[in-house]
Structure formats: C-alpha cells, structure tokens
C-alpha cells in the first residue's frame, strides 16, 4: 500500500505545483503587461478604430477670421483694407455670404494704439476691428415687426438711459443693452409693442451683469417697470435673448470706440494707457451727442466705430480723427452730415455738467450714464431741415457746444 500512497501524494504535489506555476505565470504576465499601451488582444479593435467614419473626416466648424490687407499708396504710407477671410482650412460654401460684413470705403491704417506693456497694440486693434464685423446690426429689422414704429424704439432707449442714471450704471452698460436689443430684434418676427419694455429691461439686466461690479438685483429691474414685468418674466426673457444672440455678448460699442479715440488723442509718452488722460468735460459733451443720435434708428446705418468717429469729428479736426481711428474722410463724411442736425440742436442747449453720484469717485464720474430730455431733443432734431452748408471736407467741424461768435459766422448768414 505504501508505494501507491507515495505515488498518489507525488501526483498531487505535481498538480499543485503546476497550478501554482500557471497562476504565478498569469500574475507575472499581468504585472509585466499592465503598463503596455495597447494589449495584443485589442489589436483588431485598434485596426477598426483607425478607419474613421465620414463624419470624423469632416473638419470641425471654426470661427471666421479677418485680416488686414495692405494697400500701398504713392506717398509711401500703408493704409489697409479690412476684409473678412474664411479659415485657411475651410472652403466657404457660399463666398457671397461674406459680402454683407464688408465695410464700404473703410480703410484702416496701422494700429493707432501706442505700444503697450501688457499686450500687442496690433493684436488689440485687430480684435476690435474683427468685433465690428462680427456683431452686425441693421435698422431694417422693423420690417419684421409691422406693429412697431421707430418712435417706440426711441422711447424705450430713452427710458433705459433714465434707469441707468437712477442706478448709477455705466455708459457702457446702457450701450450694451441697446446693442443686445437691436440684435435680438433682428432674430425675431412680429413682436408686439407690449413686450418692448420686457425685452429692454431684460437686455439691461444682462448688460449690467457683464459690465457692473455690483449690478442691481433682478427685483430692482422688475420694480422700475412699475408692475409691468415681474422677475420671472425677466428671467425667461433673459434666457430667450441669450439663446437668440448665441451668447455673443461682447461687442465694441460706440462708447468703447469713443473712449479709445479720446485716450489715443490725449495720450503722451510714458503715461499708463489704461488711466484716462482726456478731458472729462469734453468727453461728456461728445457722449451726449452719441446718446441723442443713438435714439434715431437711422444710426444703425453706420458701424459703431464710424458713429464714434463722426461724433468726435464734431469736436475736433478730421486730422485728429484720422490719427486716432485711421478712417478716411469718405468713410466718415456721410455720418458727420447725418449727425449735424443733432449737433445743431445741442448747440441751443446748456452745456452738460459733470454730476456727482454716490460711491462714485470724482475721476470716474464721466463713465456714469446720464439722462436729459432726449425725446424732446430728438423731435427738435428731426424737425430740422438738412443743412446744405454742412462741411464735407476734412476740416474742423466744431469744438464746443455753443453757437459760434459773430466773427466766425459765414458772410452769407
């Protein structure tokens, strides 16, 4: 019996050793291959994945870019024409679609922004010009809304300016709200006039959250509507506006362009470009002209940079305007002529004064939006006939908001 027992024990030991050796082999193999990038058993799957589908072969949609095309002139200067170009990797499906964003007769020279320590002045300038093409506005949107009239838009914007002054909001906030409103209305159809106030206050609510450090609460915006809108209405309309604008909420407004022009004109070597160097008194006079002009829906015929340049031109010479904006006289002249009747109306009014606002420093008072009887001034301006004597040459148009002296008046007057 003993030999059989020894044989049985020996066979069992061999089986145990074999099993342990297999397990240790698996463990060793697993430890050795755990750091491998692609196991051998997944090779067929890798081969299948290496053949992408047709959808994967299509390039992802990318934003359009713009470039400045140099146009050399005889005097050696290098003005440039801003044109829109498709992305280098994509072929535009419809090349004609780019025409609607091109400026007409708008020539841009090299960046007027001085050298910056925190960014490239050329990059800043190009980004601002690209925004001018990206954010399109058009006064023809009223054709989509038969129940609306241009006067209704003027009343709404005048009320928003008043709300901004009550809550000491910045001028940029008011102009952002105006831009949001106009671009939103382009995306809609057949809006009833009863919804204009709701759309306007919702646009101002969005703008205040973007621009203000401490924006008013939504209940404050609902309060100023005197019960016409509650905060639920504003919330729903806010989301509607954001979706319609595709969350494109950072345009260069006429105020941002005007502040750039004024700062470049007043800048001296060594000064911090972010610290305002221009005169506050002159700045608020120009902003009052812009406030009045923006109430007229015909202001949407012009790009924001041209609007600001035309307003600046009424208080300076065109040589200065060309220096700070790079715009040609042919680009600015139509807007200067259209703006002349508004300027004539403001000349009959008292020159605006800087106002004091609670919790606003004296050197920042010019940034706070103010309000006057703009609707009355708008009516007077539109009643004025076009001035045939409007200067259409690159010379100084005006310097102050006061009538010219008797010695400065033309002989035929």
Joined together, the tokens standing for residue 313 give 């031109």
Residue 16: pLDDT band with limits 50, 70, 90: low
Instruction: Give the pLDDT of residue 64.
Output: 46
End residue of a domain, out of 95, 112, 134: 134
Residue 24, domain member (yes or no): no
End residue of a domain, out of 79, 108, 134: 134
Residue carrying the six token digits 């060793």: 28
The pLDDT of residue 110 is above 50: yes
The pLDDT of residue 201 is above 80: yes
Residue 5, domain member (yes or no): no
Instruction: Give the pLDDT of residue 137.
Output: 87
The pLDDT of residue 27 is above 90: no
Instruction: Give the pLDDT of residue 14.
Output: 53
- Counted domains in the chain: 3
Instruction: Give the pLDDT of residue 119.
Output: 84
CA 298, CA 182: separation in Å to the nearest integer?
12
Shared-domain flag, residues 328 and 383: yes
Residue 43, domain member (yes or no): no
Residue 347: pLDDT band with limits 50, 70, 90: very high
End residue of a domain, out of 84, 112, 134: 134
Question: 149: domain CATH number?
Answer: 1.10.472.10
Shared-domain flag, residues 384 and 272: yes
Shared-domain flag, residues 90 and 126: yes
The mean pLDDT of the chain is 77
The pLDDT of residue 141 is above 60: yes
Instruction: Give the pLDDT of residue 399.
Output: 41
| pLDDT digits 0-9 by tens, 34-59 | 444 444 444 443 444 444 444 443 44
Instruction: Give the pLDDT of residue 11.
Output: 56
Least confidently predicted of 71-75, 176-180, 207-211, 333-337: 71-75
Instruction: Give the pLDDT of residue 146.
Output: 93
Residue 45, domain member (yes or no): no
| pLDDT digits 0-9 by tens, 69-106 | 444 444 444 444 444 444 433 344 444 443 343 444 44
Residue 25, domain member (yes or no): no
CA 168, CA 215: separation in Å to the nearest integer?
10
The predicted model gives 182-202 an average pLDDT of: 95
Q: Specify the higher pLDDT residue, 397 or 413.
A: 397
Residue 396: pLDDT band with limits 50, 70, 90: very low
The predicted model gives 104-116 an average pLDDT of: 67
Evaluated on CA atoms 124, 363, 307, 80, the torsion sign reads negative
The predicted model gives 356-385 an average pLDDT of: 93
Shared-domain flag, residues 108 and 243: no
Residue carrying the six token digits 């709200």: 177
Instruction: Give the pLDDT of residue 384.
Output: 86
The pLDDT of residue 386 is above 90: no
The pLDDT of residue 247 is above 70: yes
Shared-domain flag, residues 150 and 103: no
The predicted model gives 243-248 an average pLDDT of: 96
Shared-domain flag, residues 369 and 397: yes
Shared-domain flag, residues 99 and 157: no
- Say which residues have a Cβ less than 8 Å from residue 395's Cβ, sequence separation at least 6: 317, 318
Instruction: Give the pLDDT of residue 233.
Output: 95
Q: Specify the higher pLDDT residue, 69 or 245.
A: 245
CA 86, CA 92: separation in Å to the nearest integer?
6
Task: Give me the residues paired with residue 412 across strands.
Answer: none
Shared-domain flag, residues 264 and 400: yes
Joined together, the tokens standing for residue 70 give 């140099």
Residue 350, domain member (yes or no): yes
Shared-domain flag, residues 149 and 125: no
The pLDDT of residue 28 is above 50: no
CA torsion angle 173 177 183 187 (round to 10): 140
What Å distances lie between residue 312 and 46, 259, 279, 328, 360, CA to CA?
Answer: 64, 10, 13, 14, 26
| pLDDT digits 0-9 by tens, 289-342 | 999 999 999 999 999 999 999 999 999 999 999 999 989 999 999 999 999 999
Q: What are phi and psi of 69, to 5 degrees?
A: -95, 125
The predicted model gives 215-229 an average pLDDT of: 94
Instruction: Give the pLDDT of residue 161.
Output: 97
Shared-domain flag, residues 233 and 162: yes
Instruction: Give the percent of the chain with pLDDT over 70.
Output: 66
Residue 116, domain member (yes or no): yes
* Domain that residue 115 falls in: 64-134
Shared-domain flag, residues 273 and 222: no
């Amino acid at each position: 019996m003993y030999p059989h027992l020894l044989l049985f024990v020996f066979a069992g030991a061999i089986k145990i050793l074999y099993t342990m050796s297999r397990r240790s082999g698996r463990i060793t193999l697993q430890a050795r291959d755990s750091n491998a990038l692609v196991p051998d058993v997944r090779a067929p799957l890798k081969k299948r994945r290496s053949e992408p589908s047709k959808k994967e072969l299509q390039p992802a949609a990318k934003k359009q870019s713009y470039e400045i095309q140099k146009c050399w002139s005889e005097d050696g200067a290098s003005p440039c024409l801003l044109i829109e170009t498709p992305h280098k990797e994509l072929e535009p499906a419809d090349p004609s679609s780019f025409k609607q964003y091109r400026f007409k007769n708008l020539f841009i020279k090299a960046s007027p922004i001085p050298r910056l320590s925190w960014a490239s002045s050329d990059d800043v300038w190009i980004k601002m010009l690209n925004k001018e093409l990206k954010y399109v506005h058009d006064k023809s949107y009223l054709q989509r809304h038969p129940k609306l009239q241009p006067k209704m838009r003027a009343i709404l914007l005048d009320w928003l300016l008043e709300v901004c002054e009550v809550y000491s909001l910045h001028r940029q906030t008011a102009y952002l709200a105006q831009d949001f409103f106009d671009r939103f209305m382009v995306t809609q159809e057949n809006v009833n006039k009863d919804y204009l106030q709701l759309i306007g206050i919702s646009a101002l609510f969005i703008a205040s959250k973007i621009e203000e450090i401490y924006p008013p609460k939504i209940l404050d915006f609902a309060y100023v509507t005197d019960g016409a809108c509650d905060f639920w209405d504003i919330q729903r309309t806010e989301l509607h506006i954001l979706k319609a604008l595709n969350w494109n909420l950072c345009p260069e407004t006429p105020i941002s362009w005007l502040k750039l022009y004024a700062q470049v004109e007043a800048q001296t070597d060594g000064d911090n470009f972010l610290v305002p160097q221009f005169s506050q008194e002159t700045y608020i006079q120009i902003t009052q002209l812009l406030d009045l002009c923006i109430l007229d829906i015909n202001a949407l015929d012009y790009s924001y940079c041209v609007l600001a340049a035309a307003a600046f031109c009424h208080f300076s010479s065109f040589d200065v305007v060309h220096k700070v904006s790079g715009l040609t006289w042919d680009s600015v002249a139509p807007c200067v002529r259209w703006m002349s009747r508004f300027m004539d109306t403001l000349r009959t009014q008292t020159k605006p004064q800087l106002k004091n606002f609670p919790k606003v420093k004296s050197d920042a008072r010019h940034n706070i939006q103010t309000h006057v009887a703009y609707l009355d001034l708008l009516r007077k301006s539109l009643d004025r006939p076009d001035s045939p004597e409007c200067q259409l040459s690159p010379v100084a148009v005006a310097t102050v908001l006061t009538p010219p002296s008797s010695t400065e008046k033309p002989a035929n007057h």
